[in-house]
Copies of this chain bind each other. A is one copy, B any other.
């Protein structure tokens, strides 16, 4: 007996989502089929609304309801520092610290040649344009402390190395509240290399 083509189609679509294999996709499809109408409606409506109500800011690439996000539109913020992040959600994390009051630039990922993500797949050309036309004293690269994030930071660092502005990188070290004993080796190594003068 052939399986139901429509079910197969739904499973294929679900399996194309990140982190979902065919087995999970199959479970999710059966769950959606069994779900009460209002539950299925709620899921579909939330995805529709997500796409219709939220977009990427034309300037920084962060999440926004309008074409320009509230951070880029905020006249009280400094336009002398530009913080470069991988994903729109990274902006939330940095904003929550209250430690940064400048502009943002979202790369929409990190360099990962094995996954076919080169400079063209990221918003690096737009970043260079912003740096050229802007008046930045500091470019603060806050990509993730991963192989891809580090490679991306180095790549951008090289591109901007001739410019007059300060280039900074998010400091890696031991998370607050954790114990030295349980820090992983590479984090501890980086945190030792970048040790600071005790004030």
Contacts and interface: CB of A to CB of B under 8 A. Distances in A.
Contact of A49 (B9, B42, B48, B50): B9
The interface size bin for chain A is: 35 or more
Contact of A6 (B3, B12, B13, B49): B49
Interface string A22-39: 011011111111100101
Contact of A40 (B3, B37, B47, B95): B47
A30 B87 contact: yes
A89 B27 CA distance: 10
Interface of A: 1, 3-4, 6-7, 9-10, 12-14, 16-20, 23-24, 26-34, 37, 39-40, 42-44, 46-51, 53-54, 56, 63, 65, 87-89, 91-92, 95-96, 108, 181-182
